[in-house]
Amino acid sequence: MKAHYRTAVVETACEPLDIAVGLAESELSDTYVIYESRDGWSIADGVAAEVIVDAGTVRTRALDECHEEPWSGDPLAAVRKFLSQLPIADWAAYGWSAFELSHAIAGLEVGAQTLLHLVIPETEIRLSGSQATLRSLDAAALPGMERALSRIGAKTTAGDAEARRTGLTPLHVDLETGAEDYRRSVASLVAEIRAGGLQKAILSREVPVEAEIDFPAGYRLGRRHNTPARSFLLDMGGLRCFGFSPETVLEVSDDRRVSSQPLAGTRALTGDTDLDRKLQDELLSDPKEVHEHAISVKLAVDELAGLCEPETVVVEEFMSVKERGSVQHLASRVSGRIPEGRCAWDAFAAVFPAITASGVPKLAAYQAIRRHERGDRGPYAGSVLKVTQGGTLDAALVLRSVYAHGGRTWLRAGAGIVGHSQPDRELEETREKLRSVATSVLVRTEGAGTTSSTARPVRAESHS
């Protein structure tokens, strides 16, 4: 017999962002995902079931049953099987995938790290407008959820949230860390591209954060100053992360329509109208940026064409400009329709990782990234995703994010390197992107107290 969610619908006058952050600060368990998509906000709390894929095994838990087994070949096959057999009706799964999951899908060797982690929550809140839909596998938990929303509403009305924000201080993050090494790596990669090894690769650099920071508060501040395609805040298995994704890796609807949104080509967004217009004109006419974008769109078309029904793949939008926090990007959208007998996971395997965070061709780009970057990327350039029993999938590209794991905290940003790239310009592009989140890195001042999220211990595993 399957477990069923019990549901209640309540009205709330609070903004979804305030509800989400208020819950993260004081009401949620030590495993949660907050995910903002085009359809609204979802808050997944606790673990009714989960699946974790690492370099050698798949670990699953459904209600009270746990299993662990090795995988070979397709790392997503066991995930599809587990989800198809869940003893839970009308489920939604939330979680993240590492960039290196793409290596496993391609048959390359991967190191000891988590490649994918999904949870089916015990309780879930979906926010749309002034309405909150509460779902729980335990009907007795619904009144408690309603009381939690009331507490957050009362605190917001009383100004407690603003009082908490006054106890926070922005932390200076040195964006020049590793700058010289990055210039050298860009120059070396440009030489490889000109020699014909590949067309494009995204080269990234890591910037450490030398303090314990407040993740929910940083997410709140950053979301108010960013214009993301998706946003997220999560605490799962020792990984904490918040981010403001500029694009989706993949969107799959319940009618099997699939789309991807490649963004490639970047200039700063300063807030000065005249300067921003000048930078936009420069972006639209720069041969390097246009070339980088065009080859990314072509590969997106090729990837979807290999999966979708014949004649259904189209470029719905080409080379528009999207504003994303402190930067503006060239953006396109490619869509198609998945044939009968295929599913969202087939589409995910076909397009992951995003072209705009890997390169062209992808396999050569993976190898170039390994040569020029230190350690694994982990969640950077992977995805945060929501998957439903009805066959929908929404996966945000993990960029413009802050990460904490294994006792350390960091930012990361990259730039698309092609044959015309200049090391100084590519370095500046990473700075422009890092500024989107660096201003959201907050520490709590002495005596101001801490939230349950900042106080949680972090398990020592490796995510670079």
Per-residue pLDDT of 31-85, as tens digits, reads: 999 999 998 999 999 999 999 999 989 999 998 899 999 998 999 999 999 999 9
- CATH code, 280: 3.60.120.10
What pLDDT score does 455 carry? 37
3-state secondary structure the chain: CCECCEEEEEECCCCHHHHHHHHHHHCCCCCEEEEEECCEEEEEECCCEEEEEECCEEEEEECCEEEEEECCCCCCHHHHHHHHCCCECCCEEEEEECCCHHHHHCCCCCCCCEEEEEEECCEEEEEECCEEEEEECCHHHHHHHHHHHHHHHHHHHHCHHHHHHCCEEECCCCCCCCHHHHHHHHHHHHHHHHCCCCCEEEEEEEEEECCCCCHHHHHHHHHHCCCCCEEEEEEECCEEEEEEECCEEEEECCCCEEEECCEEEEEECCCCHHHHHHHHHHHHHCHHHHHHHHHHHHHHHHHHHCCCCCCCCEEEEEEEEEEECCEEEEEEEEEEECCCCCCHHHHHHHHCCCHHHCEECHHHHHHHHHHHCCCCCCCCCCEEEEEECCCCEEEEECCCEEEEECCEEEEEEEEEECCCCCHHHHHHHHHHHHHHHHCCCEEECCCCCCCHHHHCCCCCCCCC
Residue 187 in any domain: the answer is: yes
Residues 6+ apart with CB under 8 A from 355: 262, 264, 296, 299, 300, 303, 362
What pLDDT score does 155 carry? 78
Q: Is the pLDDT of residue 402 over 90?
A: yes
What pLDDT score does 456 carry? 39
Dig out the tokens for 68 from the structure.
Answer: 């662990």
Angle at 189 between CA 320 and CA 103, to 5 degrees: 80
> How does pLDDT run across 368-394, given as a tens digit for each residue?
999 999 899 999 999 999 999 999 999
What pLDDT score does 166 carry? 65
% of residues, the chain, pLDDT over 90: 81
What pLDDT score does 380 carry? 98
Residue 199 in any domain: the answer is: yes
CA pair distance 322, 263, nearest whole angstrom: 8
> Catalytic: which of 247, 251, 292, 373?
247
464 pLDDT band, cuts 50/70/90, is: very low
In the chain, the number of structural domains is 1
What pLDDT score does 303 carry? 93
Residue 195 in any domain: the answer is: yes
What pLDDT score does 264 carry? 87
Find the domain containing 223 and state its range: 6-455
Dig out the tokens for 343 from the structure.
Answer: 């599913």
Sign of the alpha-carbon dihedral angle for 112, 365, 248, 413: positive
What pLDDT score does 447 carry? 53
CA pair distance 271, 275, nearest whole angstrom: 8
Residues 401-421 have a mean pLDDT of 96
Residues 269-275 have a mean pLDDT of 91
Q: Is the pLDDT of residue 454 over 50?
A: no
120 pLDDT band, cuts 50/70/90, is: very high
What pLDDT score does 446 carry? 63
Under 8 Å between Cβ of 86 and 62: yes
265 pLDDT band, cuts 50/70/90, is: confident
Rg (CA), the chain: 21
CA pair distance 234, 35, nearest whole angstrom: 8
What pLDDT score does 161 carry? 54
Q: Is the pLDDT of residue 462 over 60?
A: no
Comparing CA positions, the residue from 354, 272, 436 lying closest to residue 97 is: 354
122 is catalytic: no
Dig out the tokens for 391 from the structure.
Answer: 């066959």
> How does pLDDT run across 166-223, given as a tens digit for each residue?
689 999 999 999 999 999 999 999 999 999 989 999 999 999 999 999 999 999 999 9
What pLDDT score does 444 carry? 84
Residue 421 in any domain: the answer is: yes
What integer best gives the mean pLDDT of the chain? 91
Residue 461 in any domain: the answer is: no
Residue 179 in any domain: the answer is: yes
Q: Is the pLDDT of residue 448 over 80?
A: no
CA pair distance 286, 275, nearest whole angstrom: 16
Residue 464 in any domain: the answer is: no
332 pLDDT band, cuts 50/70/90, is: very high
What pLDDT score does 445 carry? 78
Q: Is the pLDDT of residue 159 over 60?
A: no
% of residues, the chain, pLDDT over 70: 94
